[in-house]
Structure formats: structure tokens, C-alpha cells
Chains A and B, each alone.
Chain A
């Protein structure tokens, strides 16, 4: 149980285009999902907290107009990187907390999406 998927796993796009990344909780519901960015050999950097049915909460320094987050249902959150530039190239990972296991608190992570902007 507690499986999170991401799509796509890898994407290459041209500078100036937009890219959408999907995060799905496959066997549980998640009111809240989290989006992280990870640079090589570094730890996870939280970008934003995605809340179902409401606006996302962005961490300081993360441009909300550039990284659009939509949490359309209890099992789906999307991250859209708008007008991507090479500096947006990174590994993007989502996570979710299983609402059915509120007593356990751990987050379950997706497999990540490698974005390369050329």
C-alpha cells in the first residue's frame, strides 16, 4: 500500500515551453501533497505544499507564477513549470501523507521526474 506515482519520469523540453508533471496517490487519498526539488548530491528542497481544493502554499524564494500547482482531487496534484529555462533543469519529487494513516505521519514519495531544459 501507500504508492505514489509520477508522470513523466523523464522529460526534455526547449527553453520557453511549459511542462506539466503529475503526481498521483494510487491506493490512498491525500488532502495534502508536497513538491520537492533535488539537485545532484543534495538533499530535498521543499518547493510547495499542495492542498486539495485550495491554493498551494509556496516556500520562500519559490516563484508561484513559474511553478503552478493544482490539486484537483484527493489523488492528483500537478506541477507545471511555465516558460522553462535551463536553470529549471532538476529532479522534481512529490510526496503525500496517507490520510487513512493519520496516526503514523510518514510521507510516501513518488519516483521523481527528471526535467532537462535545453
Chain B
């Protein structure tokens, strides 16, 4: 059974204080690992897809990396508008392709 564990559950940062969110996963063959951002009362917004270990992707202050067991979402010099819940999901190769989501990390960035 595919599993995704995100840590920490909640993270409070001061503006400009860089940090990383973790997504540990177990899957029988990785088709893709996805990061989403979700604001309160809204649907998740797609950020990145990573396909193989060693891959990295960047968007503004966010950088996602991938190993064979985990992914990190690095946030550099965060701003208050980066406050949101960040969701990680994995999709296994073969089978139904239905993604398995983690519980998310709630990030609050204080000005």
C-alpha cells in the first residue's frame, strides 16, 4: 500500500527565515511525486511534479527535490503570502494511477 507522510504538521516561520518541508513516501514504483499549495477554503494549486531521484524544480522562493525515499520543499526567505498548507502526493506506476496524498504541512509566515 502506498504511503505518504509529511512533516512537520505545522510550521511557523519569521519572514525571511528559510526552512524545508519533508514528504516521506513508500510506493511500488514511482510514476510521479506532486507538490500542491492549498489556501483556506480553496482547492489545491499545482506546484511541481518530480519523476526521478535527483530531480529538482524551482519556482520563485520554492525548490522541490526528490530522493528514492523522500522529497523536500525548500522555502527560501519566505514571505507572509507563502502561508498555506502544502500537500504532497505520490502516484504509483501501474495500477489505477490514483494519487495518494499526505496530510499536509500548515505553514504560517509571520511578518
Binding site for B on A (CB under 8 A): 2, 4, 6, 34, 41-44, 46, 49, 91, 93, 95, 104-112, 114
Closest B-chain residue to A4, C-beta based?
B43
Nearest CB of chain A from residue B38's CB, rounded to whole Å: 8
| Interface-lining segment among B18-26, B63-71, B76-84, B97-105 | B97-105
Q: In the assembled complex, which residues on chain B have CB atoms less than 8 Å from the CB atom of A41? A: 106
A44 lies within 8 A of B46 (CB): no
Q: Closest CB-CB distance, B1 to chain A, in whole Å?
A: 13
| A42 to B99 alpha-carbon distance, docked (Å) | 16
- Interface mask (B26-38 → A, CB under 8 Å = 1, otherwise 0): 0000011010100
A107-B96 Cα distance, complex, nearest whole Å = 14
A4 CB contacts on chain B under 8 angstroms: 43
A-side contacts of B97, CB under 8 Å: 105
Q: Are B43 and A105 in contact (CB under 8 A)?
A: no
Q: Distance in Å from the Cβ of A46 to the closest Cβ of chain B?
A: 6
Considering only CB atoms and an 8 Å cut-off, how many residues of chain B contact the other chain?
22
Residue pair B43, A49 in contact (C-beta under 8 Å): no
Residue numbers in B under 8 Å from A109 (CB-CB): 36, 43-46
B103 touches A42 (CB 8 A): yes
When A43-B104, A105-B49 are in contact, do A49 and B98 touch as well, CB less than 8 Å? Answer: yes
* A49 cross-chain contacts in B, Cβ below 8 A: 96, 98
A-B contact pairs, 14 of them (CB 8 A): A2-B46, A41-B106, A43-B87, A43-B101, A44-B87, A91-B41, A93-B43, A95-B43, A104-B49, A105-B32, A107-B46, A107-B99, A109-B36, A109-B46
CB distance from A113 to the nearest CB of B (A): 9
Whether A114 contacts B41 by the Cβ 8 Å rule is: yes
Q: Which of B36, B43, B49, B102 contacts A110 (CB 8 A)?
A: B43
Contact pick for A111, options B34, B43, B102, B106, CB 8 Å: B43
In Å, the complex CA distance between A62 and B46 comes to: 26
Chain B residue contacts of A112, Cβ below 8 A = 41-43
